[in-house]
Amino acid sequence: MKEHTRRIWMTIVGVLVCGFSVGMFNFSVLGLDPFQVFTHGIFIALPEGKPGFGTVYAVVNLLMLIVIFLADRSKIGLGTVINIFLLGYVVEYSSLLFESLIPNPSLAVRFIFLLLGIVIMCFSSALYFTADMGVSTYDAVSLIISEKKKWKFQFCRISSDLFCTIVGFAFGATVGIGTVVTAFFMGPLIAFFNRTVAEPLRYGRQKM
């Protein structure tokens, strides 16, 4: 399989599986991911007469997309388009699937879904990051900083996750154990899957 074809499949599978993992994350009801905390905080802070959360979320992403276009337009591509137009549906239907299969999950089951969701999210993120065919607006932030400043990606991701968590919490958004675990462990886990799975898949082990 040619490298370009591998990159396309890594992007499509990575983004869609990432949406499935977010459905697991949401099903656990143990805390939103840092970017969701950030956008919920902004939504809460807006005055009366504000638009719905979906509109606010779209506007925040649009503003970030403009900044990313100016900073590094190479991060905008197939993965970005799938994130914008398909990811929400995958998250919605996977969440409904889990709720129909397990209508009254115990705390233990929810915790298992949280841990599995985070691991799968990091694995799938590594796939479409390494494919380098566009990423979500939030994912692009830590990637651009890492590349331009020559800092390790995991530290950039932890910093951006902590920033979003702190700002969102300051504005009144709810923070749970899932938020904290994600903020501290997503960066290192994505870096691990980049090194051990995604990069060998794209370039081949003989080139590593």
pLDDT tens figures, 40-65: 899 899 988 878 777 787 888 889 98
Query: Is pLDDT above 60 for 39?
Result: yes
Query: Is pLDDT above 70 for 91?
Result: yes
139 is in which domain, residue-wise? 3-203
DSSP class of residue 195? I
Q: Where are the alpha helices (DSSP H) in 73-135?
A: 78-85, 87-101, 107-131
Number of domains, the chain: 1
Predicted local distance difference test score (pLDDT) of residue 207:
54
Between residues 115 and 92, the one the model is more confident about: 115
Query: Is pLDDT above 80 for 1?
Result: no
With respect to residue 28, please indicate whether it lies within any of the assigned structural domains. yes
Predicted local distance difference test score (pLDDT) of residue 90:
86
Predicted local distance difference test score (pLDDT) of residue 205:
65
Could you tell me if 135 and 75 are in contact, meaning their C-beta atoms sit under 8 angstroms apart? yes
Query: Is pLDDT above 80 for 84?
Result: no
With respect to residue 208, please indicate whether it lies within any of the assigned structural domains. no
With respect to residue 115, please indicate whether it lies within any of the assigned structural domains. yes
Query: Is pLDDT above 60 for 111?
Result: yes
Residue 142's CB is within 10 A of a number of other CB atoms, namely 24
DSSP class of residue 150? T
Q: Which helix (H) or strand (E) holds 179?
A: helix 177-193
Among 34, 122, 20, 130, CA closest to 75: 130
Q: What is the pLDDT of residues 134-182, one digit of tens each?
A: 888 898 999 999 998 888 888 999 999 999 999 999 999 888 898 888 8
For 89-124, letters b (16+ CB in 10 Å) and e give ebbeebbeebeeeeeebeeeebeebbeebbbbbbbb
Could you tell me if 34 and 182 are in contact, meaning their C-beta atoms sit under 8 angstroms apart? yes
Residue 106 pLDDT grade (very low, low, confident, very high; cuts 50, 70, 90): very high
Which two structure tokens, joined as six digits, stand for 29? 């009801």
